[in-house]
Structure 1
């Protein structure tokens, strides 16, 4: 185990506890000597970790403290950046802005050499082919999902036939070329899937979902054979 991994394990161990824990107990759990533990705690404190306590008393991580920069490896930073940039090019305006803001917050707490990965990425994401109408639909769909409300919209099937739908939204699947809503359809009395680029006049209703979205998600996974 590298020193960075050992320090992270120590931080995670302290995070799980609400009361001070003896240094000897921490050392045993982490498989290090007491001397090494004291040195690691001093190192974390020097980096700004709010660890309170001392030898003979015990140690506790002050509530509300965020993990220091060592929580992200180089590969983790690359993964987060790749995911955020994929979202920026394939989601509605609000979600795209949130992805950019998240990257900015991550960059603010990273050491300079890792923050540079965000400015000079090794992994690039091609621009998405999302239509403006799809972005508008996604915004309303996310509102209905987050607030657990019914959704209504006009829908055109693959043959161009149009219908009015009222659904109980479950989740949105982001595929390479399309975004797909999984929902319980009141018209078909069954779970159905709707392409966002075929949805118009999309609006979240004031009506609450008859069942919690989590329950609907479980039922949808069962209906699709995704469980068991």
Structure 2
């Protein structure tokens, strides 16, 4: 059973990572305790001047200004951080790979002695890539353009080998075992598209910004994905209904 001190810490973590009120029932389910225990723990945290607001039935939120020592890490959190950093070190671009190695070194320097073996002799390891990815675009610079909302002009070779020129608004870089992809708004298609980085023949990073903040474009992209999944599911359900109707001559 989780120690009470650890449970109080986890309640704070649950509230910190959520952008909406978290109900006692949700916290109880994740921490595997009763709702009554959560009510009592939240009341104790408030009594210790932790700035939690809310009420039973509505949910609780933690004041954004609240801060805890940043590296009060549990053993599971250390292993999660090391595993993620191992993967980035093996698969990320040069700058990210070095940052991942620096992250592991910094964690090792500050965690308590009893947690250090989880870093120096971890129980899990990320698989290295099967082959080196040949990107046709500067991934480091692309990440900067994504953060600032810049446009990129690319010459792109499709699966059939045909080349075309596009101006894209990059949103996010997707990492897979054998390729990287760029999710972006394509001005030519006036829609969201994905582009494999190894099929980019040439790239020019433009000074021009696309309209609106990068976060708004990312939300539009996520909604477009949800809409496509919903439409696909609707088509599948319609197909199942049609197949259920007996054939009549």
TM-score by length of 2: 0.64
Question: Is the 2:137–2:197 contact (alpha carbons within 8 Å) kept by the matching residues of 1?
Answer: no
Secondary structure of the corresponding residue to residue 95 of structure 2: helix
Of 44, 66, 69, the residue aligned with 1:67 is 69
Partner of 2:214: 213
d(CA) in 2 for partners of 1:31, 1:211:
40
Equivalent pairs, count: 187
Tell me the equivalent position of 1:113: 114
The CA deviation at 1:31 is 7.3
For residues 142-176 of structure 1, give each alpha carbon's deviation from its aligned partner in whole angstroms, at most 9, with x where no partner exists.
12102211112221111111122210111112223
Distance 1:170 1:190 in 2: 13
Equivalence for 1:29? 43
- Residues 32-88 of structure 1: CA deviation (Å, up to 9, x unaligned): 9x9xx7xxxxxxxxxxxxxxxxxxxxxxxxx9975165x211111111111111111
Structure 2: distance between partners of 1:136 and 1:95? 15
Q: CA deviation at 1:182?
A: 0.7
| CA drift at 1:111 | 0.8
CA contact (8 A) 1:90 1:129 kept: no
CA-CA distance at 1:133 after TM superposition: 3.3
Instruction: Tell me the equivalent position of 1:8.
Output: 9
Matches within 5 A, 1:1-228: 1-5=2-6, 8=9, 29-30=43-44, 67=69, 69=71, 71-129=72-130, 131=132, 133-134=134-135, 137-225=138-226
Taking a change above 3 Å as real, the CA distance of residues 205 and 2 of structure 1, as seen in their structure-2 partners, is: same
Counterpart Cα distance in 1 of 2:205 and 2:176 = 23
Equivalent residue number for residue 46 of structure 1: none
Compared CA separation, residues 9 and 180, structure 1 to 2 (3 A): closer
Relative to structure 1, the CA distance from residue 95 to residue 200 in structure 2 (aligned partners, 3 Å threshold; closer, same or farther) is: farther
Instruction: Identify if the C-alpha distance between structure 1 residues 130 and 162 changes in structure 2 by more than 3 Å, giving closer, same or farther.
Output: farther
| Alpha-carbon distance change, 184 to 130 in structure 1, aligned in 2, over 3 angstroms | farther
Which aligned segments of 4 or more residues in structure 1 are displaced greater than 4 angstroms? Answer: 9-12, 63-66
Q: Which runs of 5+ in 2 are unaligned?
A: 17-39, 49-64, 231-249
What is the aligned-residue RMSD (CA, Å)?
3.1
- Give the C-alpha shift of residue 203 in structure 1: 3.5
Change (3 A) 1:7 1:215: closer
Residues in 2 aligned to 1:144 and 1:100: alpha-carbon distance in whole angstroms: 24
Ranges in structure 1 where 5+ consecutive residues have no aligned partner: 16-25, 38-62
1:86-144 CA distances to partner (integer Å, 9 max, x unpaired)?
A: 11111111111111112222222101221221111111112114535328532232121
SS of alignment partner, residue 174 of structure 2: strand
